[in-house]
Structure 1
Amino acid sequence: MKVFISADIEGTAGIAHWDEAERTHADWAEFRALMTAEVVAACEGARAAGASEVVIKDAHDSGRNLILDRLPDYVRIVRGWSGHPDAMMFGLDAGFAAAIYTGYHSKAGSEANPLAHTSNLRISRLILNGEVASEFTVNALCAAGYGVPSVFLAGDAQMCAEARAMVPGLATVETLEGAGRASTSLSPAWSRRLIREGVAAALSGDFAAALPARAERYEVVIEFNNPTDAYRAGWYPGAYAHGPRAVAFAHADFAEILRALVFLKV
């Protein structure tokens, strides 16, 4: 059994400030270690459930956050950004049994995490088929395009609730809950234990149906903080204005939505 992990940091237990997520700040060293430890816990849970190989996409910011020497010997790691439309899911294919998500966070416009955002801080909201979407929304649909179920997510409480609502049977660990600029969190050790146990249980059950509903057609709308970003994005072939600070793109194939997002959200 091959398992894919998409690892972010803003939903890691204990996190509360952007300084802790930015590699140029001294606080990042502590939180890259905590991010790594949660990923290792997920790997251990997958191994306990029978995984022969785990592929991890380091999916935060530079894509160079995880401390490599702490990863188990049955792991392959995807670092940096290729430019491929799969983005945070790059490295996934139809040969994987399941996708797992660690360190995930609430969407842009949410107050459920002090670090809530979608893709970057220039985007005020990303809307998919009329619903405000998170990075998980996009990534779970990406996985579903390969026929890969999304079985487990660790992250803030609102992200967990939305992921469970989107994907039947998905298991979660709620690492923290935001309130304004503060967060109330599990201890890192507690979070790691729950992740290890949760992943093992999720992968030991029947998770084949853990797939989001697919639509016949998709429309993605990106609302930017600055109208000049919308103007630039509007030059992508097939994109169209959707208000004073927004641009949209529609297609029946979600893979084309992913391709468009590479250029629209830059």
Structure 2
Amino acid sequence: MKVYISADIEGITGIDHWDEATIGQPGYELFREQMTREVIAACEGSLAAGATHITVKDAHDSGRNLIPDRLPEPVQLIRGWSGHPYCMVQELDRSYDALILIGYHSPAGSGANPLAHTYTTEVSQIRLNGQRISEFHLVSFTAAHEGIPVVFLAGDADLCAEAKAYDPTIQTVITHKGIGQSVIAQHPQRTLQAIREGVEGSLRRLKEYRPRPLPEHFLLEVDYKEPSRAYRKSFYPGCQLVADATVHLQVSDWFEVLRALEFIVLT
């Protein structure tokens, strides 16, 4: 069994401030440690279920957060960013059996996590076919594009609810609930136990999971915080400036959505 784990930090247990997600700032080392521990728990659950190959993508900010020598020896770790449109699931392909998400968070425009955003803090919202989307949706659609099911998610309470709405079979672990600029978190050790057990249980039931079908058409809409940024990004091929701070793009190929995001959001 071949498993892919993508890990972010803003949905790690108890994280509450941008300093705690930023290399060199107060609190970062504490939550880097917790991010690493939650990924280790996911790896341990995968191995207990019979995984023979595990790829982990460090998918937060610099891509250089996880402590490599703490991960179980069979793990292949992807650090940094290649620039490929698959982004947070770089190198994911049809050879994998399952996708697991650790430390994921609510999207830009949400009040459910003090660190809510989608890819960057420079956009106020990203919508797909009229629905506000998160990084969870982006990687889940990419997995579906490759024929791979998302089987497990650990992150904030509202994102876990969104994941269940997307696919009720996904096993979730709530790490904390955001209220304004605060979070209410369970004890970190409980998160680790729940991740370990949840991942193992999901993978043992792998035959019950199916990738969700993709829409036949995609309308991508991006709201920027600065109208000047929207104007500049509207020159990406196929994009249209439809409001002072909004561009949209209509395509029929999921990879074209990802390619556009690489240039109109990530750069």
User: Which TM-score applies when normalising by structure 1?
Assistant: 0.98
User: Which residue in 1 is equivalent to 2:111?
Assistant: 111
Q: Is the 8 A contact 1:157 1:177 kept in 2?
A: yes
**SS at structure 1 position matched to 2:173:** strand
User: Which residue in 2 is equivalent to 1:154?
Assistant: 154
CA offset digits 1:194-237 (Å, max 9, x no partner): 00000000000144534233111001111000001101111111
User: Which residue in 1 is equivalent to 2:24?
Assistant: 24
User: Which residue in 2 is equivalent to 1:78?
Assistant: 78
User: Which residue in 1 is equivalent to 2:59?
Assistant: 59
Q: Does 1:136 align with 2:133?
A: no
How far apart, in 1, do the equivalents of 2:167 and 2:96 lie? 17
| Pairing 1:206-245 to 2, within 5 Å after superposition | 206-207=206-207, 209-245=209-245
How far apart, in 2, do the equivalents of 1:13 and 1:92 lie? 26
CA 1:76/1:179 → structure 2, altered by over 3 Å: closer, same or farther? same
Residue 178 (structure 1) shift: 0.4
| Range with greater deviation from structure 2 (3-12 or 209-218) | 209-218
**SS at structure 2 position matched to 1:242:** strand
Q: Does 1:252 align with 2:236?
A: no
Q: Is the 8 A contact 1:168 1:212 kept in 2?
A: no
What amino acid sits opposite 2:198 in the alignment?
G
User: Which residue in 2 is equivalent to 1:45?
Assistant: 45
What amino acid sits opposite 2:29 in the alignment?
A
Residue 14 (structure 1) shift: 1.2
Residue 238 (structure 1) shift: 0.8
CA 1:207/1:231 → structure 2, altered by over 3 Å: closer, same or farther? farther
How far apart, in 1, do the equivalents of 2:48 and 2:259 lie? 36
How far apart, in 1, do the equivalents of 2:207 and 2:168 lie? 9
What amino acid sits opposite 1:161 in the alignment?
A
What amino acid sits opposite 2:165 in the alignment?
A
| Range with greater deviation from structure 2 (158-167 or 211-220) | 211-220
| Pairing 1:81-100 to 2, within 5 Å after superposition | 81-100=81-100
Q: Is the 8 A contact 1:168 1:209 kept in 2?
A: no
Aligned pair count?
A: 266
User: Which TM-score applies when normalising by structure 2?
Assistant: 0.98
| Range with greater deviation from structure 2 (18-27 or 125-134) | 18-27
Q: Is the 8 A contact 2:151 2:209 kept in 1?
A: no
How far apart, in 2, do the equivalents of 1:78 and 1:228 lie? 34
How far apart, in 2, do the equivalents of 1:233 and 1:24 lie? 31
Unaligned residue ranges in structure 2 (runs of 5+): none
Residue 188 (structure 1) shift: 1.0
How far apart, in 2, do the equivalents of 1:177 and 1:99 lie? 23
Residue 91 (structure 1) shift: 1.7
Q: Is the 8 A contact 1:221 1:242 kept in 2?
A: no
Q: For the aligned residues, what is the CA RMSD?
A: 0.9
Q: Is the 8 A contact 2:145 2:214 kept in 1?
A: no
What amino acid sits opposite 1:191 in the alignment?
T
**SS at structure 1 position matched to 2:260:** helix
Q: Is the 8 A contact 1:126 1:223 kept in 2?
A: yes
How far apart, in 2, do the equivalents of 1:210 and 1:247 lie? 33
How far apart, in 1, do the equivalents of 2:242 and 2:65 lie? 36
Q: Is the 8 A contact 1:149 1:207 kept in 2?
A: no
